[in-house]
A and B are shown apart, each in its own frame.
Chain A
Amino acid sequence: MPSQIVKVASAVGLHARPASLFVKAVAKSGVEVKIGRPGNANTNAASLLSVLGLGIKFGEEVEIVINEDSDQANELISNLSSIISTNYDH
């Protein structure tokens, strides 16, 4: 069950473009992914409304959890982490 903790690098937080990109990537994979503050990752990462509802700001840490052990899961989690740790603000 891979999980990873990353820091949000975009100044707007997990909002606007970074949030859309993240949710899109989750939805496209078809895999069940949870996100939340560390130790509390129980929000459906395929829901833009719920991800925005976490109100995660710049510099905060989030935990991403995938409830399945596979190469695909490991690859997905590292892709998702890199979206969050990239600064999409100019």
Chain B
Amino acid sequence: MKLIGTGVSPGVAYAKIKKLEIQHQLLNITGNLESILDSLDNVSIYLESQSRLVSDEVMQGILEAQSMMANDPDLKSEFINNWENYKSKNTLNELIEVVFDQFKKKLENIGGYFAERVEDINGINNLLKLNIMGEEFPEFELNEDCIVVAADLTPSDTSTMNLSYVKGLVIENGGPTSHTAIVARNLGIPAIVGCSDARNLKEDDLVLINGREGFLVKEPDFDFVESEKARESELINRYKRISGPGKLQDNTIIQLLANCGNIVDAKKAIINEAEGIGLFRTELLYLNQITAPSISEQVKVYSEIFEIFQGKKVIIRTLDAGSDKPVPFLNSVKEENPALGVRGWRLIREFHSVIKDQIKAISIAQESGKCDVWVMAPMIDTADEALEFSNLAKENGIKKIGVMIETPSAAMVSDQIFEIVDFASFGTNDLTQYVMAADRLDSRLSDLTNSWHPAVLRTIEIVGKNAQGKPLGVCGEAAADPLLAAVLIGLGVNSLSMASNSITEVKSFIANQDLGKCQNIAKEILKTKNAFEAKELAVKLFN
């Protein structure tokens, strides 16, 4: 039986399960104001003493901060101020939630790193309730090697464990940036989060977990355990050799970036060692809206992303609505051929202010961060369009201006386009659809809608020659296919952007290729007659 979760700390572990039942549901907390204030002190002292027990610096910092929050003067005043309104109730539950919520809401509204502190406040809330009711603080005694399974795990829970027995962690809730994930990575303990099916596992079940790929296998056979362990140690060796920024064997630099659509993607990208974002899709802000998001709403979202990628490059794409991504308030006119209709940059013809506001919002957001912000427009067809975008972006203080190359027309006049812009990036999915004139969603045409097709690669070759050393990226699915990525490098591409979980695989493949070899192989592949032949030849020549 295989369970799936999100791998947050790599490694393979095989051991018996230890289930931690963390919280009794304390539904009815009773007491008075004094019991709350006393318990806050107790919780603070407890957290302080736990912080001195742990050796991990990150955990220590979290526990110390939590200890300060528990006896925070403003927290206590809020309990005192609200007491009159709640003292007639039979329980303290409501009062406790109301007071903590005030502080949580503020942090949630700020977002980013600040919002993550909400988890700390929840931890204090739980300990407070336990202490008011005279319950012991949870303590987890471990005396043999085990894989810990829990619904959630707070730093104070973790601090009571003898971590040398913990071979792996499986958390039913939680995301990639939860404390568990951070602490597990720091300590090198394999961990999976968001594995909701784990609640059905039983104490002492023998399981294998893979914290790199995010799965758990119950009662695996011996051969499987051995092969997973061997595969993991091979990966560790391979990744050790290739840590650091992306480059070829001859040290040619190939930036490896991530495609992102939201904060979760961005955080995963950091874990996967992306060197920046090569495509930030802004559509999510507009989908399911009845009007355009305000400038300030946009600034907030962009700033959060920029904050995560401080000191790194972020390429943000202006709104790419239309065709297969319709936005109700923009794409209301019925189009016979939406893929060939008003989409991407073409929206400027009808909705100038929507696009202008977005560029303005990006410009405001980039002021506050220490992030290298690049902006590109989708579905650019001509040098005139590139110039129109470039002028608008420049007026708004955007420093690096680029376009996506997705149409045969843009490729044919790419020499003119490169005179105007600083960089370009291929959207290989759309480029393939338009070069082949084949709908990428029609499975009957899959032999045509394949980016390996020499007609697509020859189009890319034209652009590569016209780029004249300017940054030229790929941000379609093609970048995540190591062989195809190497061919694209041979055609002049110098950065690759992909779903971040593909980065390591691509990085390790290209680290063993040199530029000359990529160029020679690409030349041969351009001579093939179809996608199947092209790929087969690449497999043969690269191995």
Taking Cβ atoms with an 8 Å cutoff, the residues of A that contact B are 11-13, 15-17, 19-20, 23-24, 44, 46-50, 52-53, 55, 57-59
Contacts and interface: CB of A to CB of B under 8 A. Distances in A.
Interface stretch (B19-27, B70-78, B152-160, B230-238): B70-78
Contacts of B370: 11, 58-59
B61 interface: yes
Interface stretch (B102-110, B438-446, B485-493, B516-524): B102-110
Nearest to A24: B68
Contacts of A11: 310, 370
Contact of B74 (A15, A49, A58): A49
B297 to A, nearest CB: 16
20 contacts: A11-B370, A16-B65, A19-B65, A20-B61, A20-B65, A24-B68, A44-B73, A46-B73, A47-B72, A48-B65, A48-B68, A48-B69, A49-B74, A49-B103, A53-B103, A53-B106, A55-B106, A55-B114, A57-B368, A58-B370
A46 B307 CA distance: 26
B344 to A, nearest CB: 32
A73 to B, nearest CB: 19
Contact of A13 (B61, B73, B107, B113): B113
Q: State the 5 A-B residue pairs at the shortest beta-carbon distance, nearest first.
A: A55-B110, A47-B74, A53-B106, A50-B74, A48-B68
Interface in B42-86: 61, 64-65, 68-69, 72-75
Contacts of B470: none
Contacts of A50: 72, 74
B160 to A, nearest CB: 22
B400 interface: no
Given A15-B114, A16-B113, A52-B107, A47 B64 contact: no
Q: Which of B64, B68, B69 has the most CB of A within 10 A?
A: B68
Contacts of A46: 73
A13 B106 CA distance: 16
Given A44-B74, A53-B103, A58-B310, 19 more contacts: A15-B113, A16-B65, A16-B113, A19-B65, A20-B61, A20-B64, A23-B68, A24-B68, A44-B73, A47-B73, A47-B74, A49-B121, A50-B72, A52-B107, A52-B114, A53-B107, A55-B106, A55-B110, A55-B114
Contacts of A58: 310, 368, 370
A55 B68 CA distance: 18
A12 B113 contact: yes
B312 interface: no
B313 interface: no
A19 B72 CA distance: 13
B61 A16 contact: yes
Given A11-B370, A53-B103, A48 B72 contact: yes
A57 B117 CA distance: 15
B368 A59 contact: yes
B255 to A, nearest CB: 22
Interface in B494-534: none
Contacts of B113: 12-13, 15-16
Nearest to B103: A49
Interface in B393-417: none
A50 to B, nearest CB: 5
Of residues B64, B72, B117, which shows the largest number of chain A Cβ atoms within 10 Å of its Cβ?
B72
Nearest to B78: A49
